[in-house]
A and B are shown apart, each in its own frame.
Chain A
Amino acid sequence: MVIGCGRVGSSVARELAAEGWDVTAIDEKEEALARLGARWTGGFVVGHGMDAEILRRAGVPDADAVVVATDGDNTNIVIGQVVEKRWDVPCVVVRVLDPARADFYAARGMRTVCPTQTAIAKLAEAVRRESRAAETAATS
């Protein structure tokens, strides 16, 4: 199950479907279906991820894994906890853009993925690599 079918959610859904997973995506906008491509054979449910009835109907209680990637950090954190606590889904991964909140909930056992933290690390590393290369060039 992929909750939130934007750029990130739709790509995760397509990638997992290509690997043979049975994937259903949920998004509050019907247009989001287009992101899954014309040949999408998985499920798609229109509705809000905070709506427990929508989640039930989409099959979340029986899911092996749930990816929560709507565009709201707090919405994702709440949905992630609800899915984990109410239905005992074994693998719940939650996208949280704010590094501080991602850390806070990770420390409480939530599997959070923070794209901002990844970007920070990569950008800083790119600059470091550049300056190391310049130093090496200067000394040689």
Chain B
Amino acid sequence: MYAVVAGGGKVGANVARSLLAMGHEVTLIEQRPYRFEQLQEEFEHQVLLGDATELHVLERAGIARPPELVLGVTGDDEDNLIICQIATEGYKVPKVIARVNDPRNQEHFDLLGITQTVCATSNVLGLVEHEVPEHGFVHLLELRKENLEIVELQIDRDSPVAGKRLAGISMPAGARVISVMRGGRSELAEDSTVLRPGDQVLAVLEPGKEDELRRVLLKR
């Protein structure tokens, strides 16, 4: 596979190194001269000096081939968005992934059609939520492209569904229980599965259905 990695900071350099180790062909683009010189020692001809939002820089990196993958992982969200747009819309690059530095910019990426994004801050927040669950509800995974998310919640003694079979619970439309973890063991959810207090339930749902699901399973 040929990949262009735009942005040679810690993220870009490490991803480029890993892709190379996997046997892929990589061009790394970095615009800060002092950083470029550092990278050159390791990546030699595989790193390019320039602003990856400039078309002639991307052309030199072989954007017209086109690469199978372009990563916009600079420290600037606008740059990452533009790099991914130029790659997909201008050069038909089949797969682009953008780094979101400021989670408040996530909505811009969504609106402008860059669906594959990674935001370290949001991930950290997700982990914090996992450690300190609010309302017994943890966001585990967001599948933006599929418009689905996976959440985890814990059935407690007051839950209206404790002691009920899954088949007997009227789940909100667009939500489904996937698995139930009990005593350290996880089982795929079946119609016959009975929910008990202490169960950790994984559910898949459309974003925005959280409140409905909470009401049905936890009554709060």
Q: CB distance A74 to B111 under 8 Å?
A: no
Contacts of A78 on B, CB cut-off 8 Å?
77-78, 81-82, 108, 112
Q: Are B90 and A73 in contact (CB under 8 A)?
A: no
Task: Flag if B82 contacts A77 (CB, 8 Å).
Answer: yes
A86 contacts which chain B residues (CB < 8 A)? 111
Nearest neighbor of B55 in chain A, beta-carbon distance: A100
**What residue of chain A has the Cβ atom nearest to residue B53's Cβ?**
A74
Q: Does B55 lie within 8 Å of A101, measured CB to CB?
A: yes
Which residues of B are found within 8 Å of A82, using beta-carbon distances?
A: 108, 111-112
Specify which chain A residues have a CB less than 8 angstroms from the CB of B111 in the assembled complex: 81-82, 85-86
Contact B112 A85 (CB under 8 A): yes
CB-CB < 8 A to B53: which residues of A?
Answer: 73-74, 101
B55 touching A104, Cβ below 8 Å: yes
B176 to chain A, nearest CB (A): 31
Q: Which parts of B169-189 form the interface with A (CB within 8 Å)?
A: none
Within 8 A of A (CB), among B81-105: 81-82, 86, 89-90, 104-105
Contact A100 B108 (CB under 8 A): no
User: In this assembly, does A93 line the interface, its C-beta being within 8 Å of a C-beta of chain B?
Assistant: no
- Asked if residues A81 and B112 are in contact (CB atoms below 8 Å), the reply is yes
Q: Which residues of A contact B107 (CB under 8 A)?
A: 52
Interface centre among A50, A51, A74 (most CB of B within 10 A): A74
Instruction: Give the distance in Å from the alpha carbon of A81 to the alpha carbon of B104 in the complex.
Output: 16
Is B30 engaged at the interface, CB distance under 8 Å to the other chain?
A: no
The 0/1 profile, CB within 8 Å of A marked 1, for residues 16-57 of chain B is: 000000000000000000000000000000000000011110
Query: Taking A86-B111, A104-B90 as contacts, is the C-beta distance between A74 and B55 under 8 angstroms?
Result: no
On chain B, the residues within 8 Å of A51 by CB distance are 104
- The answer to the question of B76 belonging to the interface, with a C-beta cut-off of 8 Å to chain A, is yes
How far apart are A83's CB and chain B's nearest CB, in angstroms?
Answer: 10
For residue B79, CB closer than 8 A to chain A, the reply is yes
A72 adjacent to B112 (CB under 8 Å):
no
B55 → chain A closest CB, angstroms: 4
Give Cα A44 to B170, complex, Å. 52
B98 to chain A, nearest CB (A): 12
Give every chain A residue within 8 A of B108 (Cβ-Cβ).
50, 52, 78, 82
From A99, which residue of chain B is reached at the shortest CB distance?
A: B55
* Beyond A74-B78, A74-B81, A77-B78, 12 extra complex contacts between A and B, CB < 8 Å: A50-B78, A52-B108, A72-B78, A74-B79, A74-B82, A77-B82, A78-B77, A78-B78, A78-B108, A81-B111, A86-B111, A100-B54
13 A-B residue pairings within 8 Å (CB atoms): A74-B79, A74-B81, A74-B82, A78-B77, A78-B82, A81-B112, A82-B108, A82-B112, A85-B111, A86-B111, A100-B54, A100-B55, A104-B90
